[in-house]
Amino acid sequence: MSSTKDARWPWPPVTSRARLIAAVLACFVSALSGCVSGSLADDATYLGEQNKAGSSSGTGAGAPGSAGAAASHAGAASGGAGGSGGASLGAAGGGASSSGGAFGSAGAPSGGAPPAAGAAGAPAGAAGMMTGGAGAPPVACPNKRGIAYAFSPNSAGPDMNALKAGVGWFYGWTTGPSAAAKPVMAGANMEFVPMIWNGSFKVADAVNAIPAGAKYLLGFNEPNFGTQANLTPAKAAELWPQIEQIAAQKQLQIVSPATNYCAGNCNQTDPFVWLDDFFKACPNCKVDYVGVHWYACTLDALKDHVTKMKKYNKPLWVTEFACVDGGPWSVDQVKAYAIAASAWLEQEPSVFRYSWFSGRTTLPNIALLGDSGALTAVGSAYVAQPHHACP
């Protein structure tokens, strides 16, 4: 039982608040020049995610050594203040899922039409790997590992070149890649994955912004947070047919809303309760994958959370993870976690893709990038991890 639970719930202690406010102001000023994307709303969303700051421990009865904390991050989408959740082990809800289907059955994610065998990025069947064609052996899959980062105008090309040896995809909380990333991502063989960040979107605008060649669509970002997408399960279910319209027009597979534990200004504190209610409200909705966020800094905590997410019987996208909760963490601690976590995520068959948060951020010691085109010690470790068989 952590002694800091009451201080963090519902709001961080004074020192954390001071760090959070300072980080927001500093990062907001510096980020304004580098957040060009398909629309002004997309720009504001990117700023909000990149301004993550502040953390403190919570409580949890999960795996040994887990931080069990809820993190907060500052920023905005469409002009509002932002925040993000971390983790609180042991709070995960149980119970059966109404989503239906079995992970990997018939060579396709449940809820969607089976993809052709060997199609790029298609989830495989029970074997948990891409075949590449009938009888072909499994191959190394660089596209499993990604980064949650939109790339800045001053360094997008060099940064992608630095990452491309071990990172195959990215997203920036937007429907289209930033103006900086768009002209260089193909040369770096870097795949962009679009996202519908919150409920303020139009189908036609999203379809126009999503680039040709996209394969997947990420659902709402932390909808249980008042300072993120801020959608109840019922509201998200009401909007989901529009998500399906976008996906159908662009031939995309769909990732569910990505939830996390929330402390303060939440429409639901528990990510599992939110997802349970969403799937109950949306029993026939097309959802091919389940999105996951996680900010505790131990491998046991990550394993525990991912294992609990398997209840939905769909492949998982861990679209945000890093050492935030319970910090500050030293470079050596973050590096050790990045190595251990990526090694496990690579071989874990339930995880289809994963992405570290982030390229550059005001949070201490978790950035993958330093100067233009230069990897940090954590970035070098993350990029250098070997790839396992395609999921």
Q: Check residue 139 and give its pLDDT.
A: 58
- Which of 17-31, 122-136, 329-343 is predicted least confidently? 122-136
pLDDT greater than 70 at residue 166: yes
pLDDT greater than 80 at residue 13: no
Q: Check residue 347 and give its pLDDT.
A: 95
**Domains of the chain by start residue, with CATH:** 105-113+120-384 (3.20.20.80)
pLDDT (tens digit, 9 = 90+) per residue, 39-65? Answer: 333 444 444 555 554 333 332 333 323
Q: What percent of the chain has pLDDT over 70?
A: 63
Cα–chain center distance at 331: 22
The single-letter code of the amino acid at 23 is: A
- Which of 91-95, 155-159, 281-285, 288-292 is predicted least confidently? 91-95
What distances in angstroms separate CA 46 from CA 74, 149, 221, one per listed residue? 12, 8, 11
Average pLDDT value for residue range 235-251: 98
Q: Check residue 389 and give its pLDDT.
A: 65
Q: Check residue 140 and give its pLDDT.
A: 63
CA dist 301 and 294 (Å) reads 9
DSSP type of residue 79:
T
pLDDT greater than 80 at residue 21: no
Q: Check residue 327 and give its pLDDT.
A: 87
Which residues, other chains included, contact 75 with Cβ-Cβ below 8 Å and sequence gap of 6+? 24, 27, 28, 47, 48, 49, 50, 51, 52, 81, 82, 83
pLDDT (tens digit, 9 = 90+) per residue, 119-152? Answer: 333 333 333 333 233 344 455 666 899 999 999 9
CA dist 225 and 223 (Å) reads 5
Which range has highest mean pLDDT (32-36, 50-54, 70-74, 371-375)? 371-375
Residue 82 dihedral angles phi and psi, to the nearest 5°: -115, 160
Q: Check residue 11 and give its pLDDT.
A: 30
If one compares 220 and 37, the residue with the highest pLDDT of the two is 220
pLDDT greater than 60 at residue 109: no
pLDDT (tens digit, 9 = 90+) per residue, 312-334? Answer: 999 999 999 999 999 899 999 99
pLDDT (tens digit, 9 = 90+) per residue, 201-228? Answer: 999 999 999 999 999 999 999 999 999 9
If one compares 325 and 109, the residue with the highest pLDDT of the two is 325
- Helix 331-347 to helix 377-384 angle, to the nearest 10 degrees? 20
C-alpha angle with apex 78: 222 to 223, nearest 5 degrees?
Answer: 15
If one compares 293 and 8, the residue with the highest pLDDT of the two is 293
Question: What one-character-per-residue DSSP string does 117-158 give?
Answer: TT-TT---STT-S--SSTTPPP-B-GGGEEEE----TTTHHH
Q: Check residue 377 and give its pLDDT.
A: 98
> Is the separation of the CB atoms in 76 and 82 below 8 Å?
yes
CA dist 350 and 145 (Å) reads 14
The pLDDT mean for the chain works out to 74
Residue 241 dihedral angles phi and psi, to the nearest 5°: -55, -30
> Is the separation of the CB atoms in 260 and 84 below 8 Å?
yes
- What pLDDT band is residue 16 in, cutting at 50, 70 and 90? very low
Give the HSE-up count for residue 23: Cα atoms under 13 Å, Cβ half-sphere: 27
pLDDT (tens digit, 9 = 90+) per residue, 363-386? Answer: 889 999 999 999 999 999 999 999
Q: Check residue 388 and give its pLDDT.
A: 81
Average pLDDT value for residue range 289-298: 98
pLDDT greater than 80 at residue 350: yes
Q: Check residue 161 and give its pLDDT.
A: 97
Question: What is the widest separation between alpha-carbon atoms in the chain?
Answer: 60
The single-letter code of the amino acid at 359 is: G
Q: Residue 229: name the closest of 186, 282, 189, 267 by CA.
A: 267
pLDDT greater than 60 at residue 276: yes
Residue in the block written with tokens 């909705």: 285
CA dist 369 and 93 (Å) reads 36
Average pLDDT value for residue range 141-166: 93
